[in-house]
Amino acid sequence: MKAGNQNGGSERLGRLRRTAAAYQERYGSLPGMDAITGTASAIATRRRRLERLQREAAEVQAEIAATEVELARLDEWVVFCLQESIERAQREHAEGWSPRPVLGFRLWRVADDALYGVRLPWTRPGMIATCLKGKGDTEIPHSDGRCGRLGCGVYVAKEIDPLLVGFGVAELGDVALGLVALGGKVVEHDGGYRGATAEVIALAATRGARRLFTADPVEIARVFAEPAAIESGEPCPDRARLLDEMSSYIAGQARKAAQWTLETSGG
Ligand SMILES: [Zn+2]
């Protein structure tokens, strides 16, 4: 728009100058031409100033572009450093926010009102960990030792067998063995993990002379709310083999779940 006006203006100026020059040739000196001659140096000065300013503007533009590139590189560098230090902290403290659930195993004692874990009764198949030592609600499970050597979080075991041995399961009577998916912050230990959240995704439970093996979320929730629901399962005449059957059912569900998470995460 501006350039168009300028071109239009200078075309018109050129035309007028040519006409004036023709008239000067034809009629000799024209009145008022002295004033025009006087402006010639003022025009030349402004032209030179304009060219200098345009050069400077181009230099400033180039400097703006170069600074933008430098800023983008610095941002990338900060992102890289942050990722590095976060990953290093995760390696050193053996913790991570897992994009897919970490699977593990838990054992409960089956009572009339709930399934009992080591520390707490479970009345539903999910658990959100709190710090039982009251050391704050953020960054659970704590991994800086503030709530003791073992620390808070929902615990699961990596293997089934040590659970059965450790609990002295033979003396417990009715028990439930579960496959549990941990979510949120997860801290790894030698024999297991502890996580911020836990969800039971398969359950093998026994009560009296019955057993219920299920991976149906509705049925699992029913058992936690009301353990008597286990009695809707099959009879189990051979109690000696029951623990083996529970183990192999839950181990099979774990393999299935691991396969499924691998497939859905594309890894
Ligand atoms: Zn804690």
For 191-198, what is the mean pLDDT?
93
Confidence at 266, pLDDT banded by 50, 70, 90: very low
Task: Please give the distance, rounded to the nearest whole angstrom, from the Cα atom of residue 153 to the centre of ligand 1.
Answer: 7
Task: Please give the distance, rounded to the nearest whole angstrom, from the Cα atom of residue 146 to the centre of ligand 1.
Answer: 6
255-263: long-range contacts at Cβ-Cβ below 8 A with a sequence spacing of 24 or more?
257/103, 257/179, 257/181, 257/201, 257/202, 258/103, 261/100, 261/101, 261/103
What pLDDT shows up at residue 98?
61
Residue 84 scores a pLDDT above 70: yes
57 versus 28: the higher-pLDDT residue is 57
**Range with the lowest mean pLDDT among 73-87, 104-118, 195-209?**
73-87
DSSP strands (E only) in 111-260: 115-116, 121-122, 126-128, 154-157, 175-188, 192-207, 210-214, 234-235
Task: Please give the distance, rounded to the nearest whole angstrom, from the Cα atom of residue 150 to the centre of ligand 1.
Answer: 9
- Going by C-alpha positions, the residue among 219, 220, 186 that lies closest to residue 200 is 220
Residue 265 scores a pLDDT above 60: no
Task: Please give the distance, rounded to the nearest whole angstrom, from the Cα atom of residue 174 to the centre of ligand 1.
Answer: 31
Task: Please give the distance, rounded to the nearest whole angstrom, from the Cα atom of residue 184 to the centre of ligand 1.
Answer: 15
For 70-85, what is the mean pLDDT?
89
Residue 35 scores a pLDDT above 90: no
Task: Please give the distance, rounded to the nearest whole angstrom, from the Cα atom of residue 200 to the centre of ligand 1.
Answer: 22
Tokens of 63: 């400097």
- Going by C-alpha positions, the residue among 215, 218, 220, 209 that lies closest to residue 250 is 215
Task: Please give the distance, rounded to the nearest whole angstrom, from the Cα atom of residue 131 to the centre of ligand 1.
Answer: 4
Task: Please give the distance, rounded to the nearest whole angstrom, from the Cα atom of residue 136 to the centre of ligand 1.
Answer: 7
Task: Please give the distance, rounded to the nearest whole angstrom, from the Cα atom of residue 130 to the centre of ligand 1.
Answer: 7
- Going by C-alpha positions, the residue among 184, 100, 93, 182 that lies closest to residue 138 is 184
Task: Please give the distance, rounded to the nearest whole angstrom, from the Cα atom of residue 188 to the centre of ligand 1.
Answer: 15
Residue 267 scores a pLDDT above 50: no
For 170-188, what is the mean pLDDT?
88
Share of the chain above pLDDT 90, in %: 52
